[in-house]
Amino acid sequence: MSKSINRSSRLFEVDGIKIYAGFQKDAPSYIKPWITQFCSLPSNEWFANIDEVWAGDWFNQYGIKDYFDRFDDAVQLMTNSKSKDWNFFNEEEIHKINGQACKIYGMLHARWICQPRGMEQMKSKYDNGVFGQCPRTSCNGCKVLPVGTTFSLKRHSVKLFCPKCNDIYRSPPQPVIDGAYFGPAFPHMFLYEYTEYNLSHQFKPFIQKAFGFRIRIPQGSRPLPHNRNDYEEQMLSK
């Protein structure tokens, strides 16, 4: 059974994003694309702008759909391709679809930033110091890259990877971003593509000393954290 719709009442604002809940062709021209609005939010400064066509490609979405019951509606919202079905969605549904769209965007984002166009956007953010600096004193303010420890949602928040000491650190308490939105591959793909940012050859481990003399590590004891890789290489060579 059809319902009469007052189009002027189909405008919603959900978590800072303005949404027209209706057929896309009827949407007011002043409402910006969903992706543009999402990435413009202060809490989403770390995110790159995914191309709408790329986001709507089923190949790039592979393996994500099974996690969301409103996947198709969420993709329509993200890519500004809403069908006429949107004329009949209520406010509760709009909130749910937008929430799923944010998560889907994050999972797609981890894939987008590992290919050339997305990586170029992240390079610009890196150059501008958006992700911050390494907290390790001896790294002398080296800029860091975001990294996740898994591709699974709600496991760990995003961490920071230093291209000089090759260690990871906690990110600032705000904003809280799921690590799956960046994934464990990104910083390594980034440094492979932009080799000039790989500063691991400049790394200088902290040497423990007492009264000017280097402290001897007893044989068989665990190596110091930043000497572990060298230690393992020595062990493998024996």
Residue 13 belongs to a domain: yes
Same domain, 174 and 123: yes
- What pLDDT score was predicted for residue 1? 34
CA-CA distances (angstroms) from residue 111 to 115, 120, 150? Answer: 7, 13, 13
Q: Are 156 and 149 in contact (CB under 8 A)?
A: yes
User: Which of 52-61, 65-74, 130-139, 218-227 comes out lowest in average pLDDT?
Assistant: 218-227
Same domain, 86 and 124: no
Residue 51 belongs to a domain: yes
Amino acid at the residue 82: K
CA-CA distances (angstroms) from residue 199 to 195, 204, 226? Answer: 9, 11, 15
Helix (H, G, I), strand (E, B), or coil: what is residue 127?
helix
Backbone angles phi, psi at 138, to 5 degrees: -70, -10
Domain edge (last residue) among 56, 81, 112: 112
The predicted model scores a pTM of 0.85
Same domain, 108 and 133: no
User: Which of 9-18, 117-126, 180-189, 228-237 comes out lowest in average pLDDT?
Assistant: 228-237
pLDDT surpasses 90 at 7: no
Domain carrying residue 76: 7-112
Per-residue confidence band for 39, with pLDDT thresholds at 50, 70 and 90: very high
Residue 194 belongs to a domain: yes
Residue 223 belongs to a domain: no
Residue 28 belongs to a domain: yes
- What pLDDT score was predicted for residue 217? 74
Residue 232 belongs to a domain: no
Residue 233 belongs to a domain: no
CATH number at residue 48: 1.10.1820.10
Percent of the chain with pLDDT over 90: 76
Residue 37 belongs to a domain: yes
